Amino acid sequence: MIRKMIGGLAGTGASLFAATAAFAQEAAPAATVDKGDTAWMMVSTILVLMMILPGLALFYGGLTRTKNMIATMTQIGAVACLAMLMWVMFGYGLAFGPEGNAFISWGKFFLSGVDASSQAATFTAGVEIPEYVFICFQMTFAAITVALVLGSVVERMKFSAIMVFAAVWLTLSYFPIAHMVWAAGGLFFDMGALDFAGGTVVHINAGVSALVACLILGKRIGFQKEIMAPHSLTMTSIGTGLLWVGWFGFNAGSALEANGSAALAMINTFVATASAGLFWMLAERASGHKGSALGFCSGIIAGLVAVTPAAGNSGPFGAIVLGAIASIVCFYMVTIVKPKLGYDDALDAFGIHGVGGIIGAIGTAVVYAPSLGGPGAEDYEMGAKLVVQVMAVATTIGWAAIATVIAMYVAKAVTGLRVTEEVEREGLDLGEHGERAYNY
């Protein structure tokens, strides 16, 4: 059985998400529900939902062409809803069930044994939150992760194929990786991997899957031959702002309490993101281009991605450096490397989430050091932690890639992957949904 892991987490340097494993056991007799922590976690959960709808939907939708705006937003909303239903049916049990091994867990399927009196542990012994709140919080993480993958395959993948892909991918990729990193008994949880809010589980998982998916799906008609500029940077900018605001629930909420750790995650989510937004524009200027609104928005997202695993595992100045580095590397990835390689990651899901997640996950081992302002113990061994982080990153990359190949070919067998050439040229708004985003 999964046992409570509250005591000694700071000494092991494990991610603050380690405490989530405690939910599976009955609460200790003296445990009480803390209303303040409960209120904060409910707000954080709603903030993460806002990241998906309308945040990500507007961000991705604005980056597509006019004829695919409705299709992109509908795809994001639909897979998020699918993830929520799958989570309460069996996803929660596969990720955080009371029985399990290093790769997966089981139990509590269809939330068996959970009711309004069930509790989940926080980091203060004897103080807990309702288990339903923890379930909802984690549910939104699953929902946004699968939605992020879609950024690479927009404008040419069937809606039916996307739904089949999402169901298989969540089962084979998201649920096991969440267990390995965040649940007691999980492979990287027991190794002490640092992932405060989802560098591996969310961003590397989604980013690598996005790359594999777009390679299997193939390029859009006219890719690198005709202009495919974003149809509404205004929409994308609004989505960026909603994502940044919602990310405070994503990062600070991952402390599971309204406490100093949440406050650290909050300030890091401010400064790493601010740094990344400005450094992307500086990289544009250094490359001989004007600083752009699209670049600013891209930098904001790159900073948010990079700081996610480090949110509670870094000091503010370490977060600033991490955001700057991630922004610069992601900039060159999407503006130089991607065009040279020629793959059609339509909205740069891999270039920002995958690459930024890798930088953030590995960089967390560095900024965690107390000598650099991090919260690590005085005897912290950076080299050993770097090895653990690299292993977690490499495993996530391999696992996500294999799961995505399986999910894409299952979808291909069941529905076919691509819309017809006629629908792709006409636009998926009309071809797949019979609607237009804009009627003049």
Looking at the predicted structure, is the pLDDT value of residue 10 above 70? no
Q: pLDDT tens for residues 41-71?
A: 999 999 999 999 999 999 999 999 999 999 9
Look over the chain and give the mean of its residue pLDDT values, rounded to a whole number: 93
Q: Which residue has the tokens 């409570």?
A: 4
Q: What distances in angstroms separate CA 347 from CA 4, 56, 156, 355, 364, one per listed residue?
A: 41, 12, 13, 14, 26
**Strand pairing partners for 46?**
none
Q: Evaluate whether 207 touches 354 at the Cβ level (below 8 Å).
A: yes
pLDDT score, position 125? 77
> How far is Cα 208 from Cα 295, in angstroms, rounded to an integer?
22
Task: Kindly state the tokens that stand for 410.
Answer: 């299952």
Average pLDDT on 255-279 reads 97
State the residue range of the domain holding 334: 9-429
> How far is Cα 108 from Cα 98, in angstroms, rounded to an integer?
7
Q: Among 258, 238, 240, which residue's Cα sits nearest to residue 249?
A: 258
- The band of 28, judged by pLDDT with boundaries at 50, 70 and 90, is very low
**How many angstroms from the chain centroid is the CA of residue 388?**
20
Q: Evaluate whether 353 touches 218 at the Cβ level (below 8 Å).
A: no
pLDDT score, position 436? 95
> Greater confidence, 428 or 122?
428
pLDDT score, position 30? 55
Q: What angle do CA 437, 438, 440 make, to 5 degrees?
A: 160
Contacts 24+ apart (CB under 8 A), 393-397: 393/200, 393/204, 393/358, 393/361, 393/362, 395/180, 395/187, 395/188, 396/177, 396/200, 396/201, 396/204, 396/205, 396/208, 397/204, 397/208, 397/358
pLDDT score, position 1? 32
DSSP-based three-state secondary structure for 119: strand
Average pLDDT on 174-188 reads 97
Average pLDDT on 286-291 reads 96
Average pLDDT on 424-435 reads 97
Looking at the predicted structure, is the pLDDT value of residue 151 above 90? yes
Q: Is there a domain that residue 436 lies in?
A: no
Q: What percent of the chain is modeled with pLDDT above 90?
A: 91
Task: Kindly state the tokens that stand for 372.
Answer: 């650099």
Looking at the predicted structure, is the pLDDT value of residue 19 above 50? no
Q: Is there a domain that residue 438 lies in?
A: no
**How many angstroms from the chain centroid is the CA of residue 220?**
25
Task: Kindly state the tokens that stand for 194.
Answer: 């640092």
Q: pLDDT tens for residues 233-253?
A: 999 999 999 999 999 999 999
pLDDT score, position 415? 98
3-class SS string, 15-49? CHHHHHHHHHCCCCCCCEECHHHHHHHHHHHHHHH
pLDDT score, position 25? 42
- The band of 123, judged by pLDDT with boundaries at 50, 70 and 90, is confident
Number of domains in the chain: 1
Pure H helices in 34-174: 35-50, 57-63, 69-86, 92-96, 131-149, 159-169
Q: Is there a domain that residue 56 lies in?
A: yes
Q: Is there a domain that residue 3 lies in?
A: no
Looking at the predicted structure, is the pLDDT value of residue 16 above 50? no
Q: pLDDT tens for residues 57-110?
A: 999 999 999 999 999 999 999 999 999 999 999 999 999 999 999 999 999 999
Can you give the CATH number for the domain in which 243 is found?
1.10.3430.10
Q: Is there a domain that residue 434 lies in?
A: no
Q: What percent of the chain is modeled with pLDDT above 70?
A: 93
Q: pTM for this one?
A: 0.93
DSSP-based three-state secondary structure for 418: strand
Average pLDDT on 384-392 reads 98
Q: Is there a domain that residue 373 lies in?
A: yes
Q: Is there a domain that residue 224 lies in?
A: yes
Average pLDDT on 192-211 reads 97
Q: Is there a domain that residue 415 lies in?
A: yes
Q: In degrees rounded to 5, what are phi and psi of residue 194? A: -95, 110
pLDDT score, position 73? 98
Identity (one letter) of the amino acid at 132?
Y
Q: Could you say which DSSP state residue 157 is in?
A: B
